[in-house]
Chains A and B, each alone.
Chain A
Amino acid sequence: MRILVVEDDAEAATAMVRGLTEAGHEATHAVDGAFGLLEAQKGGYDVYVVDRMMPRLDGIGMVETLRKGGDQTPVLFLSALGEVEDRVVGLKAGADDYLVKPYAFAELIARVEALARRRETGGVQTVLKVGDLEMNLIARTVHRSGQDIDLQPREFQLLEYLMRNAGQSVTRTMLLEKVWEYHFDPQTNVIDVHISRLRSKIDKGFDHAMLQTVRGAGYRLEA
């Protein structure tokens, strides 16, 4: 996919462009909000990765301008400011996700891909299917190869998120933020415990393990 990186720190931008390219994406770099805006208006991007603080036009200004112009391309905000109010301001301006610097590169890639993915699967779905796993969002039931799988409400939400991002890595932080809607550091790997319980429900008794652990990143649901 095509990603526009708007970042005034040249070194950080180079590393980011290189990492995204290695992950199989096409990344373009703009040095500030004003150039970013010009580049974005050329169109064809799947995700914008925008630094919050930049000279000339900052990230907030750039995203607000894009949104006013009707550009709905997903935006991931990068910021050294991790405070709650900064996050709120960023999301209010029109950003879709918010990542605090410094971040693990796996986290950035996972979030960028999740944003692009969300865009592709726009529209209301009532049934999610990944391989032989099927989730009915209306009846709130889950089947794998015709077998009923009984899930707790939170496990259902967790699986739904994993299925919507099937084939892609999702990090523990993403799960805590998107499934539990909490922004804090849980210290121990509480997420791992929930994942392993979910794993025992969907993979136990099947030859093929769908819910995989991605080293250094998080988890991935594979068909």
Chain B
Amino acid sequence: MHLPSLFRRTPFRLTLLFLALFVATASAVMAYVYMASASEARARAEASVRAEVETLVAIYRTRGGNALNQALVDRTLRGDKYLYRLRDADGKVVTANISDIPDGVDSGEWEAFRLTDTDAEGRVQKRQSIGIDTALSGGEHLFVGEDVGDIEAYLSRLTQALWLAMFFVLVLGIGGGLLVSRRVEVAMGRLNRVVGAVQEGNLKVRVPVKHSGDELDELSIGLNTMLDRLEGSMASIRHAGDAIAHDLRSPLTRMRAKLEVALIDAEAGKVSGVDALELALGEADSLLKTFNTVLAIARLQAGGAPDPKVFDAAILGRDMAELYEYAGEEKDIEFASKIEEGLFVEGNHPFLAQALANLIDNAIKYTPAGGAVMFRARRKANGEIEYSVTDNGPGIPEEDRERVLQRFVRLDSSRTEPGSGLGLSLVTAVAEAHCGRIELAEGPGAYDGRGPGLRVALVLPPAEAPDQTA
């Protein structure tokens, strides 16, 4: 079945549902009000008629039929509101101020009938009346009734008012429903347009936020935050892609040139083909290494540290210190370490190991022979866990410190050393993926013709020590 599109909208359907519920409830309440009012009015009328009957019967009993008759005449002349008819034992009417009382009303039951009357302007009208016939001890019948037309009119006015109220409820409800539905639809439309645009690849769109604090606003803010992150990830992936394309070009060019030279040399018989192939293999390997590092940096930047676990940074520190203990031996560099106990961090173990390896390796590589490298792991006063590698090599001038953290940046002074220029970038990416940071500072300062040295710190947020009993 095809409903008009409006009826397929959730807010409007909800409005209709609530309206239906409301109308049903209101109808029930109105019906109750009507019935209660009607029966109450009727009960009041009956009570007053009954009281009049009792008064009249008392007159009859104490003072006889004539007195009753006289009382009726008096009351009629006085203009009392009651309707009377007195019949004698033969059923003949003695006194009456009404004529059209229905026949057979001597049952002692309440009778409802219509009274023909004229209003102030002389128009004939039928008015609702009730009455009861009472048999008197002398065989006479006394009928006393009351015109309840006013009550009926009141009730009918009430009914009319109730219907009118219902009508307004419906009109306002549907109108309100349309309005709410329209509002929600506009808001949803905004969201849908954004989603549609994102589907088509536009990550720049954002949902306008009204700051009203309602749940649609919350959804909009959530969606925008999600888009910000997505855009950031996409940008860094694209950036990484660009960087790979751009930065692999130079090593590839270098490799090609070397191979070409090797080929010429091999043709000239200066080197063997095996040497040329080994050179090619070596170049391919270093290229792959560069590629893997660029990829690792991109993945860290886009997705944070994979497979994070809580572990003791002190153990990692001791292992690294042990692994690199003799690494400076060839260059006559003294390597020392100082590792505090129980330094728990949460993160990716292999990546942090790689970061430390890069830092220690850099220090050994850039410190001239006879120098010293100090590796420390400690808990800072503010609770942060800090690995630091300090050397007494030439250091990095303050103005270059920011720059060396970028990808593929190699200072002129280091171009002669082998390396890709990615070491510190990877350390930075690892630090950031662990919500930490990298700090570059001067080492121990210049002395004995050495220094000023460099101190590189990898600072990580601390983690709760794992429960030993578990």
B353 contacts which of A83, A154, A184 (Cβ < 8 Å)? Answer: A184
| Contact between A190 and B324, CB atoms less than 8 A apart | yes
Interface size (B, Cβ < 8 Å)? Answer: 28
Given A180-B319, A193-B329, A197-B326: A186 and B357 interface contact (C-beta under 8 Å): yes
Q: B364 within 8 Å of A by Cβ?
A: yes
Which residues of B (306-349) have their CB < 8 Å from a CB of A?
306-307, 319, 322-324, 326-327, 329-330, 348-349
A residues in contact with B299, CB < 8 Å: 83
A137 CB to nearest chain B CB (Å): 21
B325 CB to nearest chain A CB (Å): 8
Given A182-B350, A187-B357, A188-B365: A83 and B324 interface contact (C-beta under 8 Å): no
Q: A82 within 8 Å of B by Cβ?
A: yes
Given A186-B323, A187-B358, A190-B324: A85 and B353 interface contact (C-beta under 8 Å): no
| Contact between B307 and A85, CB atoms less than 8 A apart | yes
A154 contacts which of B288, B322, B330, B358 (Cβ < 8 Å)? Answer: B322
Q: A92 within 8 Å of B by Cβ?
A: no
A-B contacts, 23 of them at CB < 8 A, read A83-B307, A84-B306, A84-B307, A84-B348, A84-B349, A85-B306, A88-B307, A104-B285, A180-B319, A182-B323, A183-B350, A184-B350, A184-B353, A184-B354, A184-B357, A187-B361, A187-B423, A188-B361, A190-B327, A193-B326, A193-B329, A193-B330, A194-B326
Interface string of B341-378 (1 = CB under 8 A from A): 00000001111011001100100110000000000000
B201 CB to nearest chain A CB (Å): 27
Q: A102 within 8 Å of B by Cβ?
A: yes
B323 contacts which of A83, A104, A180 (Cβ < 8 Å)? Answer: A180
Interface string of A185-218 (1 = CB under 8 A from B): 1111010011001000000000000000000100
B residues in contact with A193, CB < 8 Å: 326-327, 329-330
| Contact between A185 and B357, CB atoms less than 8 A apart | yes
Interface string of A158-201 (1 = CB under 8 A from B): 00000000000000000000001011111110100110010000
Q: How far is the CA of A126 from the CA of B307 in the complex (A)?
A: 37
Residue among A187, A188, A190 with the highest chain B CB neighbour number at 10 A: A187
B residues in contact with A185, CB < 8 Å: 289, 354, 357
Given contacts A180-B323, A186-B361, A187-B423, 13 further A-B contacts (CB under 8 A): A83-B307, A84-B307, A85-B307, A182-B319, A182-B353, A183-B350, A184-B353, A186-B323, A188-B365, A190-B323, A193-B329, A194-B326, A197-B326
| Contact between B358 and A84, CB atoms less than 8 A apart | no
Q: B272 within 8 Å of A by Cβ?
A: no
